[in-house]
């Protein structure tokens, strides 16, 4: 079956069988512009169709309704801290039962490696971690999906707790820093190829600032659990590296990402229990 011959919409004297893939306008060879989805006419292929202004606010403050898990994690962390401040006795009880302590983990309370990531030792500690989650969580959740993002967050938090415990630290440890550093690691790897774009540059600038501050903190205070930071960072990099090897599309892409992250989480949990 052949395509009916007609005339170019800009050159009526020229017969053609080509058509714009956007609005099906008949076009001749001279008016045809190659695109990713066929050929386009000069109107559809014009600059106004190929470029779009991206504001800095759009990069860091996109619609938060599309990132429900990030918002839920922030809400839970803030709620736990506020409850502890308003009801000190209850706050102390939550701390006693949820903070990471090697002695109790050795007694079988492995869940402390998870619950400790929802506890914080002060307002500044909470504010810094939640600010980082507010900035970088939505980027990862939108890019990879809510469930894989949750698995990444869990794996990074567990891996941070596992490294802290595995190195024999006996002090109390709390905070979402291990999970946050997992997000840093994932973003560093997944944004590497976009470092020359506006979005990539914005992400790298923010990451450089936060990582620089966090790398300096252990030198300023011996109360910083740098082991949890490193553990979370490693988990984030490993998971993002594995994700990057997956096909870009596919019916089971979200499932594959989730399984990879949960595998890392399971390995961290096993290390936490057996170390």
By annotation, the residues acting in catalysis are 177, 229
Q: How far, in whole angstroms, is CA 55 from its chain's centroid?
A: 20
Question: What is the C-alpha separation between 162 and 178, in angstroms, rounded?
Answer: 10
Does residue 151 contact residue 238 with C-beta atoms inside 8 Å? no
CA dihedral 88, 91, 96, 97 (to 10 degrees): 150
Does residue 182 contact residue 240 with C-beta atoms inside 8 Å? no
CB neighbour class for 96 (10 Å; exposed up to 12, middle 13-18, buried from 19): exposed
Give the relative orientation of helices 123-144 and 198-220 as an angle to the nearest 10 degrees.
150
């Amino acid at each position: 079956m052949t395509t009916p011959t007609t005339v170019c919409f800009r050159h009526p004297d020229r017969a053609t069988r080509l058509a714009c893939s956007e609005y099906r306008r008949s076009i001749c060879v001279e008016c045809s512009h190659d695109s990713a989805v066929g050929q386009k006419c000069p109107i559809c292929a014009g600059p106004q169709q190929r470029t779009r202004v991206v504001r800095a606010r759009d990069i860091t403050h996109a619609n938060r309704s599309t990132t429900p898990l990030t918002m839920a994690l922030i809400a839970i962390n803030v709620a736990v801290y506020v409850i502890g401040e308003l009801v000190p006795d209850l706050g102390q009880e939550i701390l006693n039962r949820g903070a990471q302590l090697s002695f109790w983990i050795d007694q079988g309370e492995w869940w402390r490696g998870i619950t400790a990531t929802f506890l914080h030792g002060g307002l500044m500690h909470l504010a810094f971690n939640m600010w980082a989650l507010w900035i970088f969580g939505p980027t990862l959740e939108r890019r990879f999906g809510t469930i894989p993002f949750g698995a990444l967050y869990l794996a990074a938090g567990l891996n941070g707790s596992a490294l802290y415990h595995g190195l024999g630290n006996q002090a109390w440890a709390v905070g979402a820093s291990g999970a946050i550093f997992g997000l840093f690691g994932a973003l560093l790897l997944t944004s590497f190829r976009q470092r020359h774009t506006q979005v990539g540059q914005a992400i790298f600038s923010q990451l450089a600032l936060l990582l620089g501050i966090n790398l300096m903190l252990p030198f300023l205070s011996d109360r910083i659990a740098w082991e949890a930071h490193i553990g979370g960072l490693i988990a984030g990099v490993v998971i993002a590296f594995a994700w990057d090897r997956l096909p870009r599309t596919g019916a089971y892409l979200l499932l594959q990402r989730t399984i990879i992250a949960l595998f890392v989480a399971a390995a961290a949990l096993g290390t936490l229990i057996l170390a």
